[in-house]
Chain A
Amino acid sequence: MNDQQYVEAARKLAERMMTEGGADPAARLTFAFRLATSRSPRDPEKAILLRLLDQHQKDFQADVPAAEKLLTIGEAKRNETLPPAELAAYTMVANLILNLDEVVTKE
């Protein structure tokens, strides 16, 4: 979760969510969830992710420097066209998805 490479991978996934995942947050979350788990999130799962995305976004909008810091982690250049608070919020949710038991463990 905190390993540099993991945080960096989460940021790149977040960029893909914002550029390839569709226009609205629900579509973007579904996009990343499917990439990681090979299934679509159920409604309750989607609700949790949406709520969390919203919270993170508010927090990072209130503290853009924190968002900027998070986005510097790793060697890959960040996509500068994406607003930092939003990208940081997606990065947190992407990191969450990449840490789901279902993603980390083969059942």
Chain B
Amino acid sequence: MNPIQQFVQQETRRYFFGKMAAGLGTAALASLVNPRLFANENAAAAPAGLESLGSLKVLHHAPKAKRVIWLFMADAPSQLDLWDYKPKLQDFFDKDLPDSVRNGQRFTTMTSGQSRFPVAPSVFKFNQHGKNGTWVSELLPEMASIVDDISLVKTVHTEAINHDPAITYIQTGSQIPGRPSMGAWASYGIGSVNQNLPSFVVLHSRVAPGSATQALFARLWGAGFLPSKHQGVALRSAGDPVLYLSNPPGVNDQTRRKMLDGLAELNQQKLETIGDPEINTRIAQYEMAYRMQMSVPELVDISKEPQNVLDLYGPQVKDPGTFAYNCLLARRLAERGVRFTQVFLRGWDHHGGLPGNIRQLTKTADQPAAGLIKDLKQRGMLEDTLVVWGGEFGRTVYSQGTLTKDNYGRDHHPRNFTMWMAGGGVKGGVVHGETDDFSYNILEKPVHIHDLNATILNQLGINHELLTYKFQGRDFRLTDVHGTVVKDILT
């Protein structure tokens, strides 16, 4: 939106609120904290099932998913040791990767100095699971038990070859930082049904045994140029989930309410004087924090979860900050109508000592993800909850560092990697796409990360080409000028 246009709209607001005889601040506040009051005059007129609570007047089509949970496997798990079964590699042990396969792919600087690129077959056994005999590694016995509920996409690809550009790319649609993240787009586009929790919540898992990991940055779940109230709110993995949420001793709820009302009135006056829309965000965030004083303690109180549910997520489920605990919390957020939740599990950056490390890490990474699917399913929530599992790229078939019979490392590989999606209108028991015998190139049905992102928005009822925001004179969207919905995996 251009600044002049924005100011003109602001003037209209001032006129509108100026006309209200009483409770200027209260009326303004009400419209900010409850988008259903004013912002969405068209939602009431929307056909059933197409109501939007965000900037879209109506959804572009009937949604299959009401919410998304993305289990983000940061640092890039090895598709070769988990999902992409390549039996013929046994014959290539320690042979050089043929140039015809590499086909000009650039190396990272971590392996570009290597004199050889010896092929490292996975040391792990694969077995067939589910009705369609999907091959899954022995490292994932629990996820193997849900293959009939997921679409396994073996042909996701990206251009980025290092972590930060790659994760920025898949999260925001651009390798260069500054664009809004997908969760922020979803919040902006369709809003949230729960006014007491943020529409986009981020959960970080403690670094687990067997991890090799990179830092993450708040911009990965940021709002970019969208109003910042759409940015992801990260709950802390230890101690209080949100710092400074409790009132100080001596300040009761009524006192706090009066003070916040006064603060909102003063901020509102400032907003009308200078027209900075970010003041809206501050007003809204103080109100959100006030409501989170009630909603967050309730959210993280898992004492009433029955044992048979806790058991689904595995032995670590009661330990805040573990992946298991976060997967349970993701389900509780979904139940409460949070639109977009991302659970980050770091630690898959296995450049060296991969077999030992990935064996360790999968011990705590396997069951919670499968448990989440089973739990959602038994509640009838899997139908309208889209769950996504995967990271920012894949890993190389050739060994980084010394290759032995039982040890190797794997470098970054952008040309193909494996993700899965479940629920929310995604078919179960599907394996989508195929890679070559080296899991190095895509043979059929490529799915670019823009296609993946377009598909996720599609399930929420959003046409990714039509959800745009004007910034610096140009309409921006999550998928830039790319992206095709992957219809093959949709019901």
Interface residues of A (CB under 8 A from B): 1-4, 6-7, 42, 44-45, 48-49, 51-52, 55-56, 59, 65-73, 88, 92-93, 95-96, 99-102, 104-105, 107
Can you list 7 pairs linking A and B with CB atoms under 8 Å apart? A3-B244, A4-B248, A45-B266, A45-B269, A65-B250, A72-B249, A102-B270
- On whether the beta carbons of A56 and B255 are closer than 8 Å, the reply is yes
Whether B267 lies near A56 (C-beta < 8 A) is no
**A59-B259 CB under 8 A given contacts A73-B248, A101-B282:** no
Chain A proximity of B32: nearest CB distance (Å): 13
Measured CB to CB, the closest approach of chain B to A36, in angstroms, equals 12
B-side interface mostly: helix
On whether the beta carbons of A2 and B247 are closer than 8 Å, the reply is: yes
Give residues 255-288 of B contacting A (CB, 8 Å). Answer: 255, 258-259, 262-263, 265-267, 269-271, 274, 276, 278-279, 282-283, 286
Q: B252 at the A/B interface (Cβ < 8 Å)?
A: yes
A107 touches B276 (CB 8 A): yes
Query: Which residues in B have their C-beta under 8 angstroms from that of A104?
Result: 282
Answer whether residue B251 sits at the interface, using C-beta atoms and an 8 A cutoff. Answer: yes
The one of B244, B252, B254 that contacts A1, using a Cβ cutoff of 8 Å: B244
Residue of B nearest to A8 (CB): B248
A42: which B residues are within 8 A, CB to CB? 269
Q: Collect the chain A residues with CB atoms within 8 Å of residue B265's CB.
A: 48
Other-chain residue from A44, A70, A107 in contact with B249 (beta carbon distance below 8 A): A70
Q: Which A residues are in CB contact (< 8 Å) with B270? A: 100-102
Across the interface, name the chain A residue whose C-beta is closest to B245: A2
Partner of A52, one of B247, B258, B283, B286: B258
**Residue picked from B243, B248, B255, B283, most chain A C-beta under 10 Å:** B248
Alpha-carbon separation in the docked complex, A95 to B255 (Å)? 12
Q: How far is the CA of A6 from the CA of B286 in the complex (A)?
A: 15
A68 to B259 CA separation, bound complex (whole angstroms): 18
- In the complex, A102 Cα to B246 Cα: how many Å? 24
